[in-house]
Amino acid sequence: MTDLTTPDLRFRTVDDVMARHPATMAVFNSFGVDSCCGAHRTVHDAAIADLVDETALLDALARAMADAR
């Protein structure tokens, strides 16, 4: 499901992704990513810190963004 925009998500902060794409908040929450105090981290760093499968997270974020269009 990843597309050309997905790699760019890795290096954006969780807060930035949620601000630009509100539908992603539910994805971060469902994966257990800290979207409050940890929102300053990049998606990549958040996935590592919260022990999340980064590929699955990126795919779910891309789906949520596409579905919200």
Residue 69: pLDDT band (50, 70, 90) is confident
Give how many domains the chain has, as a whole number.
1
pTM of this structure: 0.87
Express each pLDDT in 25-45 by its tens digit.
999 999 999 988 888 999 999
Q: Residue 29 domain-assigned?
A: yes
**16: CATH:** 1.10.3910
Alpha-carbon distances of 19 from 1, 11, 13, 34, rounded to whole Å? 22, 15, 10, 15
Which tokens sit at 1?
Answer: 């499901």
Q: Facing residues of 49 across strands?
A: none
Q: Residue 36 domain-assigned?
A: yes
Q: Residue 1 domain-assigned?
A: no
Q: Residue 49 domain-assigned?
A: yes
Does residue 4 surpass a pLDDT of 70?
Answer: no
* Pairwise CA distance, residues 41 & 67, whole Å: 25
Which tokens sit at 64?
Answer: 């949520």
Domain that holds residue 59: 6-67
Q: Residue 52 domain-assigned?
A: yes
